[in-house]
Amino acid sequence: MEKRAEYDVITDEVAIPYEVAYGPTWTRFFEGLKNEKIYGSKCEKCNRILVPARSYCPRCFVEIKNFIEVDQEGTVISWVLTEYEYFGMPTKPPFIGALIRLDGTDVNFLHLIGGFDLSDPDNVRKRVKNGMKVKALWNDDKKGTIMDIKYFTPVK
Amino acid sequence: MGRPVAIVGSGQTRHGRRFDVSYPELVKEAVDAVFENTGISPQDIDGVVSGTMPSMMEGVALTHFYFADVLRSVGKPILKTETCGSTGVSLAITGYYWIASGLADLVLVVGSEKMNEGDSQATMTTVVEPFYQRYFIAGAPGVFSMQCQEWSNRFGIPEDKVREAATRITIDHHNDAFDNPYAHIKKRLTPDEVNNARIITYPIRLWDVCPNSDGACAMLFASEKMAKKLGLKSAWVKGVGYSGEEYWFGDSEKAIWQCAIDAARQAYDMAGIKNPRKELDVAEVYNPFTYQEMLYYECFGFCGFGEACDLVLQGVFSREGELPCDPSGGTLCTNPIGATGLNRVAEAALQVTGQAGAHQIPGAKLGLAHAMGGVDQFNGVMILGSE
Ligand SMILES: [Zn+2]
């Protein structure tokens, strides 16, 4: 057989449409966002308040029936400024992804930090600190998705 | 407790951008190597375990079916194990279970990836559901950058000290890679080169990050009876541990990383290890990012929380140190994801059987192999001994 450094390649793309069911818990959670409410749920066994809301506790293996509205302010646990883009990325860079502990809850909520200029990383580093207080800022046009919260923005 | 299990041989491919072969041909290269290295015939195996990163990586979903012929699996039972980055250690644990259960005497275990054919970070986003987490998890660098920040903040480690230790780690490993014939990236780096490299996701810079590699690794797991019959230099599985956390990224703590702590503890308990830093001779820690390697030292009990940077700078974990970590150059220099964890097991097996060549740790008798998966919620550990 002929020996070459590289052989031929073809290009391929797999694109499959999906219809993804929310089920009762996520449906209610996203309806909450439409009304500017963030819902969590409290496990009656470990007493933890989990957010987003759940139908069961992953640690206690028990069903959770209640929905409770949680605070829209919280503390930044960690964050990352993302400046690169890749195929299929739903959020356009630059953006700051963050783990935020909403007041009174027991797990971290994943969302964005924004509301200021993100173009200069050094500036962002000076602005954003672990432990800083942030609060949810809502989009005017709400679609019942996680991006109904525009981002979390520093509390003065 | 199951029956004793031996690793009787391994085969790794050359790593890099492997457009000289098709994906099955790449897998065949590793499978051919393990049979050639051991003199065992494909007829003698009882079954095959195969695994990759989530299959979006190369766009073919049923990889063990695609590889059936080169895995020599025709007419044999075949299993697929897939846990994202920890696939390789999960594969080894699957092979271990199969032999330990008494249902097989010789099992072929193969991990592979051809990362250059796809888009690794785009693949990573398909690991999570499309309505919540996918918006915020910006590929692996984003996740590990967050974890590093939480860790250094939690233990009050100054930014410049973390940087200095990470720089030491990457310089050491890229030097180590020169002695590993299978390693992908081999480079003599200077501190200036590392510290001024472009930022990927702050504070992670280019040389803190593993490459995209194409490669495969094949290993043979055997029962005691079979290992004695074969008479090959064998590594013995002394302990296994695997632990997971919640699917929701924000549910688990990233600095005191419970699944990493638990996976190691399970494996140590089984192997009877009380003081890992003293008792282990070598560790192949999964280190796709420099910072994460230090976090693992702490979670695995090699040192206390917040201490890793100081010990790295003292050379405790370098080739000549008290507990050499990743003398192969590790994941930082070679990362074909579905094979990477199995490479760690193969390297630990080579070390404890004295077959690691130029990067052999003299007299190594007890080694640790590890890999991490999920987004970061899975950790698996295997302890190998020379007897
Ligand atoms: Zn609970």
In chain B, where the domains are located:
5-119+213-230
Name the more confident of A146 and A122.
A146
In a mutational test of the A interface, the residue from B123, B149, B214, B252 whose CB has the highest number of chain A CBs within 10 Å is B149
Nearest to B125 by CA among A88, A34, A107: A88
pLDDT attached to residue A52: 98
Burial class (CB in 10 A: 0-12, 13-18, 19+), B354: middle
Q: How far apart are the first and last CA of chain B?
A: 17
pLDDT of residue B195: 97
Cα B132 from Cα A110, distance rounded (Å): 8
Give the Cα separation of B241 and B171 in Å (integer): 30
- The confidence score (pLDDT) of residue A3 equals 67
Residues A24 and A63: beta-carbon distance below 8 Å: no
Q: Does B137 touch chain A (CB under 8 A)?
A: yes
Residue B139 β-bridge partners: none
Q: Does 1.10.1040.10 match the CATH number of domain B5-119+213-230?
A: no
Per-residue pLDDT of chain B (387 residues; tens, 9 = 90+): 799 999 999 999 999 999 999 999 999 999 999 999 999 999 999 999 999 998 889 999 999 999 999 999 999 999 999 999 999 999 999 999 999 999 999 999 999 999 999 998 888 888 999 999 999 987 888 889 999 989 999 999 999 999 999 999 999 999 999 999 999 999 999 999 999 999 888 889 999 999 999 999 999 999 999 999 999 999 999 999 999 999 999 999 999 999 999 999 999 999 999 999 999 999 999 999 999 999 999 999 999 999 999 999 999 999 999 999 999 999 999 999 999 999 999 999 999 999 999 999 999 999 999 999 998 999 999 999 999
Substitution target from B19, B123, B136, B246 for chain A, most A beta carbons within 10 A: B136
* Dihedral over alpha carbons A49, B142, B147, B133 (to 10 degrees): 20
Q: Which of A12, A82, A145 comes nearest B201 by C-beta?
A: A82
CA proximity to B318, closest of B168, B143, B115 = B168
d(CA A76, CA B62): 41
pLDDT confidence of residue A1? 59
Outline where DSSP puts E strands in B35-91: 47-51, 78-80
Instruction: Indicate yes or no: CB of B150 within 8 angstroms of CB of A78.
Output: yes
* CA-based torsion, A84, A89, A95, A97: positive or negative: negative
Among chain A residues, CA nearest to B20:
A6
Q: What distance in Å separates residue A109's CA from the closest CA in chain B?
A: 6
- Does the predicted TM-score (pTM) go above 0.90? yes
From B135, B248, B254, residue closest to A91, measured CB to CB: B135
Alpha carbons B249 and B263: distance in angstroms, whole number? 18
pLDDT band at A2 (very low <50, low <70, confident <90, very high): low
**Option in A4, A7, A110 nearest B250 (CB):** A110
Q: B250 alpha carbon to ligand 1 midpoint, in Å?
A: 15
Residues of chain A with C-beta less than 8 angstroms from the C-beta of B259: none
Contact A48, A37 (CB under 8 A): no
Distance B257 CA to ligand 1 centre (A): 19
Q: Ligand 1 centroid vs B352 CA: distance in angstroms?
A: 43
Domain boundaries, chain A: 23-154
The beta strands (E) that lie in B188-323 are given as 199-201, 204-205, 214-223, 235-244, 282-284
Q: Does B122 touch chain A (CB under 8 A)?
A: yes
- Choose among B2, B113, B91: nearest CA to B47: B91
What is the DSSP annotation of A88-140? T-SSPSSEEEEEEEETT-SSPEEEEE-SS--S-HHHHHHH--TT-EEEEEE-S
Residues B369 and B380: their CA atoms lie apart, in Å, by 8
Mutate to test the interface with B, among A48, A50, A110 (most CBs of B within 10 A): A110
Nearest Cα of chain A lies from the Cα of B123 at a distance, in angstroms, of 9
pLDDT at A88: 82
Q: Which two tokens stand for residue B280?
A: 């282990």
Distance (Å, whole) CA B128 – CA A90: 12
- Complex prediction ipTM: 0.94
Residue A97 has pLDDT above 70, yes or no: yes
Q: What is the mean pLDDT of chain A?
A: 94
**Per-residue pLDDT at A5:** 65
Tell me whether B156 touches chain A (CB under 8 Å). Answer: no
CA atoms of B343 and B370, how far apart (whole Å): 10
Give the C-alpha separation, B116 to B18, whole Å.
8
Share of chain A above pLDDT 90, in %: 83
